[in-house]
Amino acid sequence: MEKLTIKDIDVKGKKCLVRCDFNVPVKSGKITDETRIMGALPTIKYLMEQGAKVILCSHLGRPFNIFNATIDRKKIKPADAEKTDDQLRQETMEKCSLEIVANRLNELLDNKVTFVNDVVGEEAEKAVNACKEGECVLLQNLRFYKEETKNDQAFAEKLARFGDVYVSDAFGTVHRAHASTAGVVQYGYIKTAVAGFLIEKELNVMGKAIEEPRRPFVAILGGAKVSDKIGVISNLIEKVDTLIIGGGMAYTFFKAKGWNVGNSLCELDKVDLANDLMEKAKAKGVNLLLPIDTVCADKFDNDANRMVSAGGVPDNWEGVDIGPETVKLFTNALKGAQTIVWNGPMGVFEMPNFAVGTKAIAAALAESDAITIIGGGDSAAAVTQLGFASKMTHISTGGGASLELLEGKVLPGIECLNNK
């Protein structure tokens, strides 16, 4: 990897400001999935063992800017319009405080974590100054300040006081130029900026697979819309040997081929683009595969009447999954592949009756000897939900960030790190 990592520098006695992704789901005061906390532990433990003073920061949920003097009411939902600033502050604190994460971290790290209900103020400064080597401080939710997402320079300067060294380990937010993900380094306040183990893995596995793939390289793209994945398709068409398109986005390609789409998802304004992409694939010698049969439902409901149609989707039906012949076509195309990247489900996998195609693809990846990489978001959820997670080479921890990496974009939170 071309970026420095925590292993490349001496952190002993240094304050390490670590941007983590502790954006965990919380329901009724309980963390319902602690994958992200577990994912952050190797970096945190390593820094503690090396005698660093570890200052952790993260966001959680979509809070109001409760530490600002007045709450920015522009984003308030109609249901909250009548609530006072104090009520909103209290509700935000209940839903989005990182204290719950600090409590869990303390169970995992021998009570060495101090939580501070403050981000850049005096309280935070006191806690950071009191932090000893081998200990941690977890700051309160960064997004309690609106300056965080605005990448406000003064806010970044205050936050940067807490780091002799900056460690980027929140892959889920590296595609954002926020104060804590890029600003503290971009503005020149922290000079030593390195990747933690999570980022290192994402770049070494996913970054490398795309840039220097072992061939044959097959990409499988699915999900709801072509418009969400234009960048990914355009970038991958330049690199892959085979491009498989399934899921809701396939029907825009159906339309481009002159096939019927019935009531399926279809973006009429993207039909020309679908044609261009098919032309481009042809010109480049990329094997572009589309579904040849479709599981159709008479309504968007797991218990709807179903039928399989070859070719297009009949009127009054909608495509909800790839059909059995398509499963054969797609899984055959995966045979012999050396690198497989998958982003987006093949059907409405949240409904068990329409998860068959997605499950078959997940199973084929699980059995494959190829390097198998699952772009984050729904495909990661599908693979995990279907029980194949442990069989994949890598499941990306970032939804938007992994999409942008697949699009070949420069990610601000990685760009700002020191080169080797």
Q: Does 350 bind ligand AMP (CB under 6 A)?
A: yes
Is 377 one of the catalytic residues?
yes
Q: Does 194 bind ligand AMP (CB under 6 A)?
A: no
Q: Does 404 bind ligand AMP (CB under 6 A)?
A: no
- Kindly identify the residues of this chain, within the stretch 372-391, that bind ligand AMP according to CB under 6 A: 377-378
Nearest residue (CB) to ligand AMP, 167 versus 232:
232
For residue 351, the minimal CB distance to ligand AMP (Å) is 8
Collapse the DSSP code of 171 into the 3-class scheme (helix H, G, I; strand E, B; otherwise coil) and give the result: helix
Nearest residue (CB) to ligand AMP, 85 versus 350:
350
Specify which residues 395 forms β-bridges with: 374
Question: Which residue reads 């936050």 in tokens?
Answer: 159
Q: Does 291 bind ligand AMP (CB under 6 A)?
A: no
Phi, psi of 119 (to 5 degrees): -115, -55
For residue 324, the minimal CB distance to ligand AMP (Å) is 16
The correct pick among 99, 133, 157, 228 for binding ligand AMP (CB under 6 A) is 228
Q: Which of these segments, 62-70, 216-224, 268-276, 284-292, binds ligand AMP (CB under 6 A)?
A: 216-224
For residue 259, the minimal CB distance to ligand AMP (Å) is 14
The correct pick among 348, 371, 401, 417 for binding ligand AMP (CB under 6 A) is 348
Q: Does 344 bind ligand AMP (CB under 6 A)?
A: yes
* Cβ-based neighbours of 287, under 8 Å, separated by 6 or more: 241, 242, 243, 281, 333
Is 376 one of the catalytic residues?
no
Rounded alpha-carbon distances, angstroms, from residue 63 to 76, 94, 316: 10, 10, 42
Yes or no: say if 397 and 205 are a contact pair by the CB < 8 Å rule: no
**Which residue, among 367, 312, 386, 377, has the nearest Cα to 175 in the 3D structure?**
377
Report the side by side order of strands in the sheet with 287-289. 287-289, 242-245, 217-221, 339-343, 371-374, 394-395
* Cβ-based neighbours of 335, under 8 Å, separated by 6 or more: none
Q: Which two tokens stand for residue 138?
A: 């977890």
For residue 344, the minimal CB distance to ligand AMP (Å) is 4
* Cβ-based neighbours of 194, under 8 Å, separated by 6 or more: 3, 4, 5, 6, 8, 9, 165, 166, 167, 168, 417, 418
Nearest residue (CB) to ligand AMP, 169 versus 267:
267
Q: Kindly state the number of chain residues that form the binding site for ligand AMP, as judged by CB under 6 A.
A: 18
Nearest residue (CB) to ligand AMP, 183 versus 262:
262
Specify which residues 62 forms β-bridges with: none
Rounded alpha-carbon distances, angstroms, from residue 2 to 10, 167, 391, 395: 18, 15, 28, 21
The correct pick among 240, 320, 341, 417 for binding ligand AMP (CB under 6 A) is 320
The correct pick among 137, 236, 265, 288 for binding ligand AMP (CB under 6 A) is 265
Residues that bind ligand AMP in the complex, under the rule CB under 6 A:
222-225, 228, 247-248, 265, 319-320, 344-345, 347-350, 377-378
Q: Which residues are catalytic?
A: 36, 225, 377, 400
